[in-house]
Structure 1
Amino acid sequence: MESATQIGTGMFKEADQANSSRTFVIAEIGVNHDGDMSKAIQLVKDAKTAGADAVKFQLFNPDRLLSNQAMLAGYQAGKAKGARELLAGLMLSVDEIGQILAVARDLGLKGVVTPFSLEDVVDLEKLDVDVVKIASPDAVNEPLLQAVKGLEKPLLISTGTCELDELEFAAELIRGHVAGGGLLQCVSSYPTPMEEAGLGGIGVMRDQFSLPIGYSDHTRDVNTGAMAVCAGAVIVEKHLTYDCRADGPDHAASMDGDAFCAYVKKIREAEVMMGARFKGIRDVERDVRLVSRQSVCAAKDLKMGDIIGAGDLTVRRPGDGVAAKDFEKVIGRKIKSNKELGDLIYGEDVAW
């Protein structure tokens, strides 16, 4: 089943433009495979079991990504002696990623890949990917953004650590991109405290850029994805791991298979509860509308031909007579039939 963010057309549609309210859920496997292809394949299977729509991997090479002055972030400290050593142990080759994406495709999952360098973009051309995702630090990396645009794949860009005005280039690039895409609200803190989740930014970005907006979630709370949907996200990305206690940079901000299942289930429930962007009478409430709304009613006995005065009327249930909002319109009119105290006044009873 295609998501409301239709991959088949290459365009992520905004929720109020979509025919379906289904959220595109990405299981971010990232580097939680620890450089082990067998772990990666098992995580793909776990994503399928949980009901995700896509799996995401990272394509990088430390020698192409890191300068001699590269540093570790605080959440990475203690995981390795340095950034180069850390990333070297988390790599998958282009061929390995291709094999893993083939497994995902056989399971009915879309393949999403994040490149980190211009050379990675060249390698991406060798892979049959459905969506290209740009990590938050590269939301302002104009050479990389221009390069991935040339792939003509739907493009998602995370926006952690970005000021709103820094995203103008990325937003304009997506608007002019033949395959479309969207921006993901993101807080680059691993894990993200609940009070820093920043779900309010989803609406801000949607209003500012008029693009499909999603949420890249680094909290530990199983409800966050569902709450993001309620805040307007049409795409949700969440890290999936085999063990949140495992040694690695992203495991602590991830969910294991059981938690991820619950996470996706809550997203699907939120979709049902949100429904389409619509305000009107729903079929399930029509009988309540009829019996509980009030109509114009005779406050005393009325004889055919009487001129109706304000004191002759009241309002009572049900709502299938002259509507209470039209009370004043009845005053001064002639009654066309006899009415007893407590009888509803219908449209045909009044000489309009």
Structure 2
Amino acid sequence: MSKVLIIAEAGVNHNGDMQLARRLIDAAAESGADIVKFQTFAADRLVTRSAAKADYQVETTGASESQYEMLSRLELTPSMHDDLIAHASIRGIEFMSTAFDEDSLSLLAAKGLKRFKVPSGEITNLPYLRRMAQLADEVIISTGMSTLDEIGAAISVFEASGTQRQRITVLHCTTEYPAPMREVNLRAMQTIADSFGVAVGYSDHTVGIEVAVAAVAMGACVIEKHLTLDCDLPGPDHKASLEPEPFRNMVVAIRHIEQALGSPVKGPSPSELRNKPIARRSLVAARAIKAGEVFTATNVVAKRPGTGISPMRWDEVIGTAAPRDFEPDEFLSL
């Protein structure tokens, strides 16, 4: 299989602190991730001032502020984007950001980004999807909270705007932080692939790394996982994120799975070919056998190594006459 694209979702885990944001880029690069991704939005264009927080946001950030107030503290300005893009370039990792509105899409395009991602909440935002289709070379669509019909409608918008299906990757996702294991429904990723003939991946909000690794074993070509420097930091997404060491472990596990998936052709591997004669058996004399004596179940036995007549030829050998004398444990010949 081709290399899985691993996205370290820094998101809003920078908490509005540029030093923390740069350290997240460092951690993503050092983990072996391919992309570090932030979020680009303006609270004024994203939510009303009275919009309620999600339950998980109340749990992680308290109920004293609105969703608008929380998001206002987490905005990245254009100059902040310049700083982070430059730092990612220095660290040798691709910079990406999820735009949550059309103006933010234009901002990212002006910064030179070619790969864009539809967040789960925007999959039904038609003007937004059309604007992204005008700007993106490659599109990743997250599908948390979505039905198959909604996914199909979004793909159709991109295709109608000139984005070929081969340039679209659809991520299965459960929009809850953290996502309960019983609601992951990882098999839905394959349903998406079968239904639309697109490349698929998984945006993981579960605790731990096992679901992301399992997704790769099931055919995911993109894995997205939240990254934080400390799960105990204040902020809405830290609790559902991986710290640098487990994130690194996830990357290593995914790279191992890539190798382990290998070829669909069943046959002995190069290392097995060396072991095959040692582990297999051959037909040998169970005792001394005289020339002309009939081979029987009492004077023939199968023993290692497997460099002589295979025991699968047992019926062919039993009942025939020995062509010569055989010593005990000597390979038989016909």
When normalised by structure 2's length, the TM-score is 0.82
Residue 126 (structure 1) shift = 0.5
| Structure 1 residue 109, shift from structure 2 partner | 0.5
Structure 2 residue corresponding to 1:252, chosen from 229, 239, 247: 239
Which stretch has the larger CA shift, 308-317 or 29-38? 308-317
From 96, 101, 112, the counterpart of 2:96: 112
What residue in structure 2 maps to residue 291 of structure 1? 278
User: Contact between 1:112 and 1:132, CA under 8 Å: does it hold in 2?
Assistant: yes
2:69 aligned residue: 85
8 Å contact 2:50–2:66 — kept in the other structure?
Answer: no
1:277–1:149 CA distance, 2 compared to 1 (3 A):
farther
Q: Name 2:78's counterpart in structure 1.
A: 94
Q: Which amino acid aligns with 1:198?
A: N
Deviations 1:118-163 (A, max 9, x none): 2222222202225211111223434333322222322111111122
Whether 1:206 aligns to 2:193 is: yes
Deviations 1:209-254 (A, max 9, x none): 4433222111221444333333332222111123322222112111
Per the alignment, residue 109 of structure 2 pairs with 125
> Deviation of residue 313 (structure 1)?
6.3
Q: Name the SS of the counterpart of 1:125 in structure 2.
A: helix
Q: Which of 123, 135, 142 lines up with 1:151 in the alignment? A: 135
Q: Any idea what SS the aligned residue of 1:216 has?
A: strand
Aligned match for 2:168, one of 181, 202, 211: 181
Q: Which moved more, 1:101-110 or 1:175-184?
A: 175-184
CA distance in 2, matches of 1:111, 1:67: 29
The match for 2:8 among 27, 36, 45 is 27
SS at match of 2:110: coil
Partner AA of 2:267 in structure 1: G
After superposition, give the CA deviation of every residue in 1:266-309 in whole Å (9 maximum; x if it has no partner): 333444444455532122222332122234556784758x9989
> What letter is aligned with 2:56?
Y
Is 1:338 aligned to residue 329 of structure 2? no
Match of 1:285, SS state, is helix
8 Å Cα contact 2:165/2:198 also seen in 1: no
Q: Could you tell me whether the CA contact under 8 Å between 2:49 and 2:68 is conserved in 1?
A: no
Q: Separation in 1 of the partners of 2:264 and 2:82?
A: 39
Write the mapping of 1:1-352 to structure 2, written as runs, cut at 5 A.
15=1, 18=2, 22-67=3-48, 70-77=51-58, 78=62, 81-171=65-155, 173=158, 177=164, 180-296=167-283, 301=289, 303=291, 315-328=302-315, 337-338=323-324, 340=326, 343-345=330-332, 349=334
Assess if the C-alpha contact under 8 Å between 2:208 and 2:242 holds in 1. no
Contact 2:116–2:136 (CA<8 Å) still a contact in 1? no
Query: Would you tell me which structure has more helix in proportion to its own residues?
Result: 2
> Which whole-Å CA distance do the structure 1 matches of 2:171 and 2:202 have between them?
5
Q: Structure 2: which 5+ residue stretches go unaligned? A: none
Specify the code of the residue in structure 1 equivalent to 2:153.
F
SS at match of 1:238: strand
User: What SS does structure 2 have at the residue aligned with 1:102?
Assistant: helix
- The Cα RMSD (Å) is 3.3
Residue segments in structure 1 that go unaligned for 5+ positions in a row? 1-14
1:150 partner SS: helix
C-alpha separation in 2, matches of 1:221 and 1:290 = 42
Whether the 8 Å contact between 1:80 and 1:86 is mirrored in structure 2 is no
> What is the DSSP-based 3-state SS (H/G/I as helix, E as strand, rest coil) of the residue aligned with 2:146?
coil
| Aligned counterparts of 1:130 and 1:176: Cα–Cα separation in 2 | 13
